[in-house]
A = this chain, B = another copy of it.
């Protein structure tokens, strides 16, 4: 029996999370390291998760009336300099290209506000042109990244960025928050990753935005992972780029803008959240393969078993099913391989099963084995997939809830952060105070949840007035 070069995961997830994470991503064939510093390769299995996310989110965009487009990867230096805060915020992240005979340096987009809003200034004339809602799926360059963490942090990654323009602040606010809700749904309902939702502090606000909203996942190693942000840009970019429209009142007005995005990082969030010591566990709604059929064949009766596998696959037409008919690998080797790859269900079909008119279904999340009658297989698979999806979310959600510690003193705060928990603490909101917290603890505020009772408290760090509390923690 020839063996493929997979030796399974060699470390314990709890004991060495970074090493575990690297191994499951690489051995699970989601992504690979690249010889180019700071970059990654998204392999077909990982890319098909991204395709699933794109497909889902394109449906949401279409419903909302957001259209896809494509803008240049090159951004002239002078565009960056137009919005002062934005320029300052992104300066260290930019890679520059300059041809011999070119007048000026071109940035490789670290985000596309400036190149897109230059076009908007030419396309928008009248209130009839608004709202203008455009999204693009593209590659993004953040040059300052030297050491890649697959999916989580790399010099180049893939993302979507939405850029909308409205007549009024109200419309802008509404969609900025509406998109954040869509992001929350994508994370929680599709990727089964629970998130905390709210506003960013001043320090963490997007460079050039009036305010930034965010969804934050909390990873099993006690670090936050920012999973999507939606910014109300106010009128600052409109002013800087000369975007104005003739209103119904025949006067010229500045429009309101937002921008919002999530990236291939989401794949990393799902991997880190759900996987175990055997490898990946993919949520059924996003798993490229929802169930793998493993035929248990002997020299005799092989044909019959393969025929039965094909019959079952056909009966399961509406699911994403794969038959592993590879020769030269034992069923046990295949079980391990698909467990490593996180396929939610395995269907075993052997001579005994045919005899008994049943199949054996094994759940990846619990390891449970279930005998199912041939005739009931479709309904049962649907039911179990739903159950796995819910189980993964609920399990993660319980962990998240139990990680939150309300703190009212600096000692409690320190204890929570050192214990890899989330500190929920009154916060004055000042940049200076947050910088000091970060300096002392390497944690900072991750988000300020919406809808808090306005109640005057003392800031957990500086003791000054605090009208709301924030979630604090370390982050990726």
Contacts and interface: CB of A to CB of B under 8 A. Distances in A.
Given A102-B37, A139-B73, A47 B68 contact: yes
B72 A41 contact: yes
Contacts of A79: 35
A411 to B, nearest CB: 42
B67 A35 contact: no
A42 B51 CA distance: 21
A58 B67 CA distance: 20
A360 B106 CA distance: 52
Contacts of A115: 34, 36
A437 interface: no
A67 B47 contact: yes
Interface string A26-38: 0000001011110
A5 interface: yes
A8 interface: no
A75 B41 CA distance: 12
A291 interface: no
Nearest to A264: B70
Interface in A96-143: 96-97, 99, 102, 106, 108, 115, 118-119, 122-123, 125-126, 128, 134, 138-139, 141, 143
29 contacts: A2-B126, A2-B128, A5-B125, A32-B122, A34-B72, A34-B115, A34-B119, A35-B79, A36-B72, A36-B75, A36-B115, A37-B102, A39-B74, A41-B71, A41-B72, A42-B71, A44-B134, A46-B69, A50-B70, A70-B158, A72-B156, A73-B141, A74-B155, A74-B156, A95-B97, A96-B97, A97-B108, A128-B326, A139-B139
A123 B71 CA distance: 34
B118 A35 contact: yes
| SS of A interface (majority) | mixed
Interface string A338-356: 0000000000000000000
Interface in A6-37: 32, 34-37
B68 A35 contact: no
B118 A76 contact: no
A4 interface: yes
Contacts of A50: 70
Nearest to A138: B139
A50 to B, nearest CB: 8
A69 B97 contact: no
Contacts of A47: 67-70
A138 to B, nearest CB: 7
Contacts of A73: 139, 141, 156
A390 interface: no
A60 to B, nearest CB: 15
Contacts of A2: 126, 128
Contacts of A125: 5
A69 B95 contact: no
Given A32-B122, A34-B71, 15 more contacts: A5-B125, A34-B115, A36-B106, A41-B70, A42-B71, A44-B68, A44-B69, A47-B68, A47-B70, A51-B68, A74-B155, A95-B97, A95-B99, A97-B108, A138-B139
A408 interface: no
**A32, A35, A118, A326 interface centre (most CB from chain B within 10 Å):** A35
Contacts of A134: 44
A67 B44 contact: yes
Contacts of A68: 44, 47-48, 51
- The 3 nearest A-B residue pairs measured at CB: A44-B67, A39-B72, A42-B70
A211 to B, nearest CB: 27
